[in-house]
């Protein structure tokens, strides 16, 4: 039996951003991360507005056939992805449906000519650009969903292998003073020849000391980002060739 603070609902659809949508007894839409259409789930409300609510998934009571076991032990904790619990073919169908819904509701198109989404030859290890934040020890990781807390992780099954091999070895801290002040986030890009470019973004105009015994290039970007700054090369080259 559910406790008084939980509700059992049916999930109706996926919406833009990755959340699932169901209906509360009063008719309001409720958005639930990591649930799937066709599922019966137990939820706990975490935010209520006049026209909608948000909830946390407590338990899947009746799973959808498209639900699979996520490949990553940090799924749902790190905020790096939203669809790893969905079989790949179903992901494509859901994303196509979301696009069609957005064109109808926002653009006002009555019957948008949306073609089925083309499948990638890679279901895993396809991300050639990844953005990390730094934890208190200066190690890169992903932020928890809806939070600034950085989750320390050792591997990501969505990153290209070249990125996944490099980033756990990066350390943006001083042995005596701790994490480098001002650093906002770290972006890693993998080129066509598995070259790696590290983009260091900071709200401090002074670039940090950067010394790494790894085959990578690194550039520094100060406050205002690329719109207001020319990147400063800290190591290697200032660009790379990427596959479209």
H or E stretch covering 105:
helix 88-105
Span 26-81, pLDDT tens digits:
999 999 999 999 999 999 999 999 999 999 999 999 999 999 999 998 898 888 88
Span 162-171, pLDDT tens digits:
888 888 777 7
Please give the angle made by the CA atoms of 49, 53 and 55, to the nearest 5 degrees.
140
pTM of the complete model: 0.82
Span 143-180, pLDDT tens digits:
888 888 888 888 889 999 988 888 877 777 766 666 67
CB atoms inside a 10 Å sphere around CB 169: 11
Q: How is 72-96 classified by DSSP, letter by letter?
A: -TTTTTS-S-S-TTB-HHHHHHHHH
Span 84-142, pLDDT tens digits:
999 999 999 999 999 999 999 898 898 899 999 999 998 999 999 999 888 877 788 88
CA distance 188 to 242: 12
Domains of the chain in start order, with CATH, are 6-62 (2.40.50.140), 129-235 (2.40.50.1070)
């Amino acid at each position: 039996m559910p406790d008084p603070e939980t509700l059992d609902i049916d999930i109706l659809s996926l919406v833009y951003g990755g959340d699932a949508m169901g209906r509360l007894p009063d008719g309001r839409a409720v958005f639930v991360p990591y649930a799937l259409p066709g599922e019966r789930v137990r939820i706990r409300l975490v935010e209520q507005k006049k026209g909608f609510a948000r909830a946390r998934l407590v338990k899947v009571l009746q799973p959808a056939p498209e639900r699979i076991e996520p490949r990553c032990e940090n799924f749902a904790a790190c905020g790096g992805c939203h669809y790893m619990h969905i079989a790949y073919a179903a992901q494509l169908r859901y994303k196509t449906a979301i696009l069609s819904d957005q064109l109808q509701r926002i653009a006002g198109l009555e019957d948008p000519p949306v073609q089925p989404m083309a499948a990638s030859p890679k279901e895993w290890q396809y991300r050639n650009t990844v953005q990390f934040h730094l934890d208190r020890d200066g190690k890169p990781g992903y932020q928890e969903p809806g939070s600034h807390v950085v989750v320390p992780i050792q591997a990501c099954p969505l990153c290209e292998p070249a990125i996944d091999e490099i980033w756990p070895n990066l350390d943006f801290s001083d042995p005596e003073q701790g994490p480098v002040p001002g650093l906002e986030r770290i972006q890693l890009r993998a080129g066509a020849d598995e070259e790696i470019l590290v983009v260091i973004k900071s709200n401090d105009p002074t670039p940090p000391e950067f010394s790494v015994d790894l085959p990578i290039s690194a550039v520094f970007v100060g406050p205002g980002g690329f719109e207001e700054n020319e990147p400063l090369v800290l190591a290697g080259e200032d660009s790379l060739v990427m596959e479209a």
